[in-house]
Amino acid sequence: MALPINPPYLPMDALSAAAVPAGPGWQYEPKWDGFRCLAFRDGGHVELQSKAGNALDRYFPEIVGPLLELKSARFVLDGELVVPVGDHLSFDDLLMRIHPAASRVKKLALETPALYILFDLLVEDGQLLASEPLKNRRAALERFFLRYASHKPRIRLSPATTSIAKGRKWFKTRTGLDGVIAKRLDAPYEPGERTGAVRKIKKIRTAECVVGGFRYASHSREVGSLLLGLYDRRKLLNHVGFTSSIHHADRASLTKKLKGLIAPPGFTGQAPGGPSRWSTKRSAEWKPLAPKLVVEVQYDHFTGGRFRHGTKFLRWRPDKAPGQCTLKQVEREGRTPLPTV
């Protein structure tokens, strides 16, 4: 008998929120700085799947092994892959794992092994739990972890609480986190959906954007800025801003990569370079790109359909699908400034 759900099965997503929501019916969890990952086991086969629906198992053999050793043979878990280095989590070391050479992956798995932090259980012993409320799924996950996985050092259980005081404390003080996730206890698991039943509250404002084009630097044939796009409800890619905080040492190799992706139209909705009293001839010149690259940026404000200032480049996100970069990420944060929690 096959599992009731199989990859690709897109994980439930979160809406951005300005503050940790209070009131009855909420569960709070740390927001881990890693790769979202669904783990499917059906007998002697394990598949790890990214948020975008891509296979991750070949990159994390140190996680596949322990999952195959569990005495439960048919399950689906939701969690986060992270790489601890010293007393912190290293996203840079995590990115290095997405490497084509098996020998390199094996070496990194030994030098900087990953952890798989669990926060949801969608299938247990072949039975579908996704339609159950989170309260039931969390109880099942805790039983599953204690029964099968608590002795596996590479598999961890994410803490959770219904205490708003503890949730706010995690947001303020806990190191190694970039925020808090709040989930409705009565909500079922809605794959591929971004709903108010799951909310993310981040310590800094960030968004994952599609790179829809680029501009060359002044008096140079190297990239000067990346043009950022987000998809609207009509699935049109709209230009929402730019980032120019690219390390000088990376510009030559990045320019070569971008040139290989040049393809019109770049943006299918609102495009950059429209006439205005501030634009110049050079600012209207840009190269369109195929929507392949996803970048995470930090920003201050989002109003009127765009970032109000230049954004700060944080990192590439190969684990995210371009189609998942939507305006929903910033709609709520565009309405209300982030208060002190």
Is beta strand 294-298 parallel, antiparallel or unpaired with respect to 223-231?
unpaired
Nearest to 199 by CA among 48, 60, 332: 332
Exposed/middle/buried for 235, CB within 10 Å: 0-12, 13-18, 19+?
Answer: exposed
- What are the CA-CA distances from residue 149 to residues 155, 296, 298 (Å)? 7, 33, 36
Nearest to 70 by CA among 125, 138, 20, 24: 125
Report yes or no: 326 and 231 within 8 Å, Cβ to Cβ.
yes
SS3 147: helix
The residues that bridge with 40 in the sheet, in sequence order, are: 47, 76
Q: Where are the beta strands (DSSP E) in 185-283?
A: 194-202, 206-216, 223-231, 237-243
Rg (CA), the chain: 21
- Told to judge if 259 belongs to the known catalytic residues of this protein, a careful annotator would answer no
Peptide bond preceding 84: is omega within 30 degrees of 0, i.e. cis?
no
Nearest to 36 by CA among 144, 118, 104: 118
SS3 230: strand
Q: Hey, what are 291's tokens?
A: 């929507």
Which residues make Cβ contacts (< 8 Å) with residue 286, sequence separation at least 6? 213, 214, 215, 227, 266, 272, 273
Residue among 31, 183, 202, 320 flagged as catalytic: 31
d(CA 315, CA 73): 36
Nearest to 225 by CA among 158, 324, 295, 157: 295
Q: Which residues are catalytically annotated? A: 31
